[in-house]
Structures are given as C-alpha cells and as structure tokens.
Structure 1
Amino acid sequence: MMNTQLTLRLLIERAEKYFPKKEVVTRKASGIFRYMYADFGKRARRLASALQTLGVQRGDRVATFAWNQHRHLEAYFAIPCIGSVLHTINIRLSSEHIAYIINHAEDKVLMIDEDLIPLIEKVKDQIPTVKAFVIMTDNPELPETALHPVYSYEQLLEAGDPGFQFRSDIDENEAAGMCYTSATTGNPKGVVYSHRGIYLHTMCMGLADTIAYSENDTVMPVVPMFHANAWGIPFAAVMFGSKLVLPGAGPTPQILLELIQSEKITAAAGVPTIWTGVLQVLEKQPYDVSSLRAVLCGGSAAPRGLIKAYEEKFGIPFIHAYGMTETAPVASVSRLRSNHQHLPVDRLLDIRSLQGMLVPGLEMRVVGQNGDVNWNGQEMGEVWLRGPWVADEYYNDERSKETFIDGWYHSGDVATIDEEGYLKLVDRTKDLVKSGGEWISSVDLENALMAHPKVFEATVIAVPHPKWDERPVAFVALKPDFKDQVEKQELLDYLAGQFAKWWVPDDIVFLDEIPKTSVGKFLKRSLREQYKDHLIRM
C-alpha cells in the first residue's frame, strides 16, 4: 500500500477543499466574530509565511499564550505545517513555571493575547531564547509593553502570502506540538506530539463509540486550547468540517449557555467544574439547550449527581472520558453498549460515571502487586497505556525513566476494571490534589511551607469540595517560639507569591503536632478521614 505520511497539512487542506463555507465563530469582548474555513486557511497560510520571515525554521518551537480564539486556531496549523513545533503554554501556571517551560522548550517566538501580556512581562528577563513577541490583538496599534521586539499579528498577516504552500516533505513522526504537564512534583514535564499521533487521535475522535464528531456538529471546546490540545477538538473540527465555536477569554456559565443557545451547539467539552457551574445557572434561568447531543466531561471524575441532572432534567447525554497530557489526551470513553439499553436508570448512571472503555488504537494493562488484575471491578492496579498517540518519554527530562518502562506509560492512576472492560479510577499513586481538572502537588506546597522561617512541619491533603472536586488544605505545626503568633493569612500570602492562585490552599489548620506513621511519615490517611467535611463546614 502507499506510504502516505499522516501530517496536519492533510487536515487543513481537507477543510479548505471540502468545507470552505463552514464557520469558525469566536466570542470577543466586542462581540461575535465569524469567518469561514476558506478564510481560516488563507490566514493560516499567511501566518506560516510570516513566521518564516521572522526566521522560524524547521524544528523551532513557537509558543502560544492565548485563550480559545480564531488566531490561536490558525497557529495550531500554521506552525506545524512549516515543520515547526506548536508549544501551547498554560496561562494559569506560576511565573516560575512559565519561565521554566519557555526556557526548557527553547521557544524562539512567543505569540500572546493582548490581555495576557503582563504575565509574560513578569518573566521577560528570564527567557533569553525568545527572539520575537507577536501580539494577538484587534487594535490597530500595539499596546505599550516592556517586551522587545514586538510585532502585530495582524500586520504580519497583511504582509504574509495567502497562497503559501505548506511543507509536503514533513515526516509523520516529526514533532508537531508540545505541551507541559501541570507539575505534579517539581518542574513541569514536556510531552511532544508527532503529526502521526495527532492525526490518528483525531480520527479516533470521530468514531461512533468515542465522541463521534462529524460535519453535522457545531462544536464548542470549553477546555482551554493551552491544555492538552483542547482534548484534540480543534484538530477534529477541522478534519471533519464541524462548525467550531471558540468561547474566548474567561467565559462564564451564562456566556457558555448563551453560545449554546445562539449558535446551536451540538457538542461541548469541559471539566466537571465547568458543567457544575453551567448546571447551577441552567436550573435557575431558562436557556434553549435542545441542540446539544453530548456534553463531554473529563479532567477528573464527574459526580454521579451531575450526570443524573444533565441526563434526567435536561435530556442531555453526558459522556465521561479519561486521559491525560501524555495520551494526547483521550484514552477511554464511557459509552453505553447495546446490552445496557434495558438496564434500570440507576445502573445506567453507574456506567456513565465510570471512566469507560479503552478507545480503539490503544492498549492498556491494569497492574497490581501480583501482575494484571482480574476484570472483576474489585482488584486495584496502576493503569499502563501504550499506543500511537501515547508519549514514550518526557522532553529532555531524566524523569522519563520513572514513567516510561519497557514500552508502557505508567500513568500513576490506580483503577479497577470490570468484566466488560470498563475502567474506574479509585485512587492515585502519589498524594496529588486534582482541582477543577488540574493537578496540584501537595509535596511542592509542603516544601514551600516548611521553608517558612516560622514553620516546623507542614503537610497538605486533598479535601472534597462541592465545586472543584478537590481542594488543598494545609496542616502546619509552628516552631515553639512562634506558637500562637502566626495568622493563617501570613502563610497563604507567602504561598501566593510562589504559586498560581488556584494552587494556594483553601485553608490552613494549625496543629500542635502532625500525626505520623511508625516510620515517621506524615499520616495523611488519618487527616483525610478527620477533615473530609472540613470545606463543606467552612
């Protein structure tokens, strides 16, 4: 058979050729902006030629620091289609981590949404590899900024070539994109995605038993484009010719519902906290959500009650999915099977609340202390994965050997698997907090707290939260000289200077002594049980 290379060029050229009149819609502060895939293609080609004018070469990393908007979509294709690497940066990381990943990736050009410029200005003197800053703005004039040299995105496109030809000599195994994890411990880890991996993952997203994206859909990714390729949705929408709605900067639940109603969204995707907020508004205000054929939820386990409300109150199918940065990201999807159709409603909800079946194309093992666990829904083991869109190492990182072993990705997630092959996550191998779909490292917070001159010991646990699934709570034992002399706000302010806002614990509890195991480790299990209702009572 023909040795055809699976590259992103094929995706965008398909959209230009077969779906030129389909819309891309972006919500802006000034209102709704629309254009068609034909326009998108020309602008992506202009951007590709402009980047080469700036000196971007094959293999160079070009970073984006942006919301879900049409210029970001253009970058998703223009950068990889000249043989460069799209590096999407999580705007919610701390300044320290932002600087680290820009330097670690050796980004050459940084494309920034105008309202996010101050976050990059904080680290401008720490990122020497960046040779150009491109400001994405609707304003004709560039804003005042300490960044240098700066270029206007739109002015670059004006000088670009709308007929620019994307590279046809890219090997499918070359890097197309990269994203960094949210730093569960230590610095973030980089994951590189090949053209082939993204292409095959995109095809998987169109399968009937996964997400079933198609030309008939109007798709809205609420999940950020700076996080794990927005779960691959921008690539899928372009390949299948779906109308694509991008909600812009900081969308509220009301804004999302207005877009669902006005644009007739058929499929939307986000973490549980997003759908919890949308549900709260929807239960109080009437919106027409009848167009929705699916709400895709991932990032963390969705509460059973949330799934039930969408399914029973509003008739919206709720699709639970599981994956991570290292799997590009979709690994399993919980869809009902033909033999489930006549089961009681409560049993159907049980199935929908699982992480689901492994998607076609991947292989999985759930490995316990004695090898692969039995498929009985009871035995627990770590989830191991491999496949064409699963990473095989972290980018230039010695920690790869701890995670990628003998051809398998060791996820660190503990799960059971039932007799039908449905996965259920039950625990974590490390003491992580998962808040709103993002990991928070308890170890990093503990180390920071114990560096405070008045703190003797500190530990951090995950405590259930009604909105964010989990939130960190810190437990601190002060040095004897400072006992009863430190207010919790002092320590919270201390952490706020080192971590992203959403990392800072919701509360600090002062203890005379932190409970320990027989070998001197902090007894987190005891604290979790004692304080499981702490945030609900606050």
Structure 2
Amino acid sequence: MTAETYEPGRARPVPQPGLMMDFPLTVHHIFRRMQGIHGARKVVTLVDPETGAVTERDFRDVAARAGRLAHALERLGVRPGDRVASLAWNNAQHLEMYLAVMCMGAVLHTMNLRLHGDQLAYTVEHAGDSVVVVESSLAGQFAEVLPQLPGVRHVVVIAEPGEECPDLPGALDFEALLAQERPDFAWPEIDERSAAALCYTSGTTGDPKGVMYSHRSIVLHALAMSGADVYGITSRDRVLALVPLFHAMGWGLPFVCGLVGSDIVMPGRHLKPAPLARLIEEQRATWSAGVPTLWLDLLHHLDSIPPADRTPDLSCLQTILCGGTAVPESLVREYDERFGAEMIEGWGMTEIFPGATVERVDPGDFAVGVGARRKSAGRISPLYELRLVDGDGVVLPHDGVAVGDVEVRGPSVASGYFDAPAATAAAIHDGWLRTGDVGTIDGSGHLRITDRAKDVIKSGGEWISSQDLEVELVAHPAVREAAVIGVADPRWGERPLAFVVLGAPVTETELREYLSARVARWWVPEHFRIVEEIARTTTGKYDKKVLRSWAGANRV
C-alpha cells in the first residue's frame, strides 16, 4: 500500500527497513584504523623539559602495547563492564590505556588529578574502580587516599626504568606487566551503546557527577569534530595535545587523531611555557588546543626573553583551539600577527564533549568588521541541536536577541549522570540537557554565551554580563587575567566586583575609564581587587564560588 492509496481507518504500512549493514560504532574501529591504515604515524612524549628529549612510538606499536595491556588487565581480573581508573598526565601510556580498556569492553575512568583528595576518593569509590593505574609523579597524591578505597584490588604504577615507588608499596609495575604478555589480544564484540569511559564534573556545587560516555557517542563526536569547519585536523597535522586526557576525553583529540591519522605530540607533565615553546618548535606542531590562560602564559614567556637571546620560532602553528572560557579578541590578533596562527573558539562541557559549537573566523577580517562574530562561542556543530528557553520553559526564537537558558541534545550528549537519579532529574528537561549557560542564538546557529546562570549579575533590575566584562578587561594591555562576580548592593541589589591579575602597572581609575569606552557606563565596577592569581576549578575555569566566599567574608 502506498501513501497515495492509504485509506483513513486502515492500519498504516510498516516502513521498509534500509538495506545497510548494522556496523557497530565502537572504539574498535578507531583502534583498527590506527593499527592498520595509520600505523606509521607517531605518538611523541616529552620526557625531559631541560634537554627537550622525547620518546617516539608509532601507532602500530601503541596498538600492540594496548593488546599487551589488555592481557595484563584481564589477568588482574578485569572483565567487560568493570571500571579501570587512570591517574596520569598526557603521554603514550595513557593513550594505550584509552585503547586497551575501552576495546576490551571495560570502562576507563580518567581521574582528575586536580580534584581535592576527598573528591578524588569519592569518584573512585562511586565509580567502583577495581584497578587503578597511577603515574609515579602522582603516586604520593594517590597514596593519601588509597586507605579510603577498599574496593581497589590492584594499583599499577607507570614509572621510569629503575624507578621505585615507595609511596605505594606492593604496587605493580606497568612495563613489567606488559613485558609478560602477548600483543594479540582477542578483542570482544561490543555493543555500541555500552559504556566506554567515565569522567566526573569538577564538583564545585557538591559531589562530582559522573558522565558515562558510550562507544557510539565517542565515535560520532570524533566524526563530527573531524570536519573542516570544526576541528579541521588532517593527516598532515602534528597535534600538540595540551588538553589533559582526564578532561572530557581530552576534548576527543585521541579519537579524532586516530581517525584522520595525524601525529600526536604529548607534553607529559611539563606544561610550563618554556618547555612548551621548545616542544612546539622542535616537533613542528601545527595544531593544538588549550584554555586561553595557557596561550597567554606562552606569550608572556616569549616577551620575557631578553632581546640578545634567541626566541623560539612558533611559525609552524597553524590552528589553535581555545575553550573553557571566553577568548579575548586581543589574544586572537596576537597569535595571528606574530605566528600566522588561526585561533578558533569552542564551547562544550563534560556532559556534551567540547566542540558542540566552534567559531572559525579569519583574523584578517577584523579590520572589516567580521571580527564582531568573535563574541560568539561558535556555530552549532554537526550532530548537535541547541535551543533557548525562558524561566517558564518556553522556547525562545533564534534571533540573536532573545536571551535564555541554553539546552542541548544529540547523540554525544549525556542523558543523565551515573548512579545519580536526583542530579539527572534536575539536568534533563523535556529530553534536553540543561547546560547552566545563558545566551543567545542567531538565525545562522551562532551561540553567544552571556553568562553562567549562576553568574549573571542583576543590577537595578537589569542584567550585566560578567563574561563580557572579563573579555573587555583582559583586552587591556596591562591586564593578564580578570574574573567578575556580583556582590550585594543596598541600592542596586547587585554590583560587579572585578578580580584582576596585572602584567603591568595600572590604576583602578584607568581601568574604569578604559571600560567606560567599551561597555555601558552602569556596567563598570565600582570595586576592583588586584590579586596575584585567581582561584580556578579543577577544569581551569575561574572558581567564582571561592571568589564569592572571599567577598562575603570581607563584606565587599
């Protein structure tokens, strides 16, 4: 029966199924692609920041070592569905854990090494981790919480040759375990909707919440980010992975690089500007990603080098993805003018992966006004859908004017939190995930984040965007960092207070005059606090809970 002959009251025909293979979207596909098609590509890890010494392994060797690791974990009792935790920096061994644990059907819990000890212990206990793999430099940190973790059966340490680990007596040696095993592990068939990895949110408003990524979500995210208008990584790139592998799957970079076949350069634990500059130059990194602070620090380092000394050549950098907080226009201009690098901005969360929106703008267009788009957090990426709702849940138009709570859905968006029904109920609204961000969306799908819902400042009945103030302050040549919060005011309800880290002398009066020319006068803070550093969360964002606590204690 066709649609033309359908008669009301009769049963509708059953749709004809498509005749395509039911191919599983699992990390296995990325693994096989790395092992075979891209087997000659390299994973480079910095091991000595003074000399610039690195280790190199090709993808084929990484895959073989992942097979050995899977054998070792199976011998330790790990079975499909079990959780295995990693506490490590960005290096080849951590990448091998990604591949081994996920492809054997277990779940990799990437522990956030910047969490407070109690929170770290909470995530391990909540996840039910049976085996924990710890890097030797972090052994002392983990040893402090291990007595609280009776469920951990085995601890494995990634150590340098001959290095002992007195902080964790009885721990197993990572390399010794691999040396005893064969590389030809019999990888099992896995349902694409089964869990592959577990990351916890930073937990600034209570206990950290677990986001359980499926194989399907990881593969679809990697495919979406591989697009030219999104990450734009190709097989000709050498990707410097500065984003920690314990932050939202390293922004998906291991999987994107595995799919397209780009070299991966890992900094290990060496994230200071000097070794990074040397690493970029010597490894000829073409693509990288990280929070704006990292790239600001790198510029300050280069500017501090005496004129008589040689400055590292970073002209190899072509693309830099920035995220985590708003990217100052001045930073975009600086990297374009000095190195010819395109700095793109992305937006995302642990719950939705980074890159849900990405903004690519030719910096040269600033002169003709296209740079105004830089205030956007990016255009909605493939396989994501975003909407705005008001306080009553009414959907708002995408006209670039209406401001509302940002909600998102898609195959790479969390449908809830692991073993946290109350948090899940609060996060999901009508099948959409509440992001906690407030913003606008225009007719072309560009998202502009105006604030976090909990950070907006309401002064005299009108809203002030703390994020816009921060962006304008950092644009001042004397300001290195700025964070703005709202504080109680008897007349206006709330007024902005700015915490500022300076790179050069400047007065509060000068800052007020500077802001007055760039934002509405009534937005300009009456209060500034010059500080040495601004408190940050474990994900590198400003910890405004700490800032508000200080302001309350000091009655600002």
* Change over 3 Å in CA distance of 1:129–1:149 after alignment to 2: farther
Which of 307, 316, 323 aligns to 1:291? It is 316
Q: 1:374 Cα shift? A: 3.0
Q: Could you tell me whether the CA contact under 8 Å between 2:230 and 2:355 is conserved in 1?
A: no
1:193-212 pair list within 5 angstroms: 193-212=213-232
Q: Taking structure 1 as reference, are residues 306 and 208 closer, same or farther at Cα in structure 2, changes over 3 Å only?
A: same
Report the CA distance between 1:431 and its aligned residue.
Answer: 4.1
- Which residue of the partner structure matches residue 108 of structure 1? 130
Q: Distance in 2 between matches of 1:12 and 1:176?
A: 13
Between stretches 421-430 and 91-100, larger displacement belongs to: 421-430
Alpha-carbon spacing, 1:513–1:465, altered in 2? closer, same or farther (3 Å): closer
Aligned partners of 1:173 and 1:203: how far apart in 2? 16
1:124 aligned residue: 146
Instruction: State the match for 1:22 in structure 2.
Output: 41
The SS at the match of 1:120 is helix
1:30-429 mapped onto 2 (5 Å cutoff): 31-145=53-167, 147=168, 149-167=170-188, 169-285=189-305, 286-336=311-361, 344-345=366-367, 347-369=369-391, 371-397=394-420, 398-429=422-453
Return the alpha-carbon distance in structure 2 between the equivalents of residues 424 and 510 of structure 1: 28
Q: Secondary structure at the match of 1:332?
A: strand
CA–CA separation in structure 2 for the residues paired with 1:43 and 1:323: 32
Report SS of the residue matched to 1:351.
helix
Looking at structure 1, the residues matched to 417 and 502 of structure 2 have their Cα atoms a distance apart, in angstroms, of: 32
Amino acid in structure 2 at the alignment position of 1:328: F
Question: What does the per-residue CA deviation read over 1:230-278, in whole Å, with 9 as the maximum and x for residues that have no partner?
Answer: 1000111122111000001031112111111111111000001111111
Cα pair distance change 1:211/1:512, threshold 3 Å = closer
Could you say if the C-alpha distance between residues 274 and 501 of structure 1 is closer, same or farther in structure 2, counting changes exceeding 3 Å? closer
| Corresponding residue SS for 2:325 | coil
TM-score normalised by the chain length of structure 1: 0.80
Classify 1:508/1:417 alpha carbon distance in 2 versus 1 (closer, same or farther; 3 Å).
closer
Which segments of 5 or more consecutive residues in structure 1 lack a partner in the other structure?
443-458, 469-494, 515-526, 528-538
Q: Indicate conservation of the 8 Å contact 2:83/2:130, yes or no.
A: yes
- The alpha carbon displacement at 1:347 in A equals 2.5
Partner AA of 1:373 in structure 2: L
The SS at the match of 2:192 is coil
Quote the Cα distance in structure 1 between the aligned partners of 2:164 and 2:104: 26
> How far apart are 1:513 and its partner, in Å?
8.6
Which secondary structure state, in structure 2, belongs to the residue aligned with residue 138 of structure 1? coil
What is the RMSD of the two structures over their aligned residues, measured on CA atoms? 3.0
Distance change in 2, residues 1:197/1:513 (3 Å): closer
Deviation of 1:346 (Å): 6.0
TM-score, normalization: structure 2? 0.77
Residue 463 (structure 1) shift: 4.0
CA deviation string 1:375-407 (max 9, x = no partner): 333321111101111000000012110001221
- Aligned amino acid, residue 22 of structure 1: R
CA contact (8 A) 1:265 1:291 kept: yes
Whether the aligned pair in 2 keeps the contact of 1:332 and 1:357 (CA below 8 Å) is yes
Deviation, 1:184, is 2.6
Structure having the higher Rg: 2
Residue pair 2:342, 2:363 contacting (<8 A) in 1 also:
no
**Within 5 A, what are the aligned runs for 1:361-510?**
361-369=383-391, 371-397=394-420, 398-431=422-455, 463-466=498-501, 505=546
CA drift of 1:148 comes to 5.6
Pairing 1:8–2:27 present: yes
Return closer, same or farther for 1:465/1:177 CA change in 2, 3 Å cut-off.
Answer: farther
**Partner Cα separation in structure 2 for residue 297 and residue 310 of structure 1:** 12
Verify the 8 A CA contact 1:276 1:467 in the aligned structure 2: no
CA distances 1:478-519 after superposition (whole Å, capped 9, x unpaired): xxxxxxxxxxxxxxxxx99xxx999695798687995xxxxx
Number of matched residues?
A: 462
| Structure 2 portions without partners, runs of 5+ | 1-19, 306-310, 457-465, 475-482, 486-493, 504-534
Partner Cα distance (1:509, 1:178) in 2 = 33
Matched residues in 1 for 2:112 and 2:79: separation? Answer: 24
**CA 1:347–1:47 in 2, change beyond 3 Å: closer, same or farther?**
same
Write the distance in 2 (CA, Å) between the matches of 1:41 and 1:330: 27
1:361 Cα offset (Å): 0.7
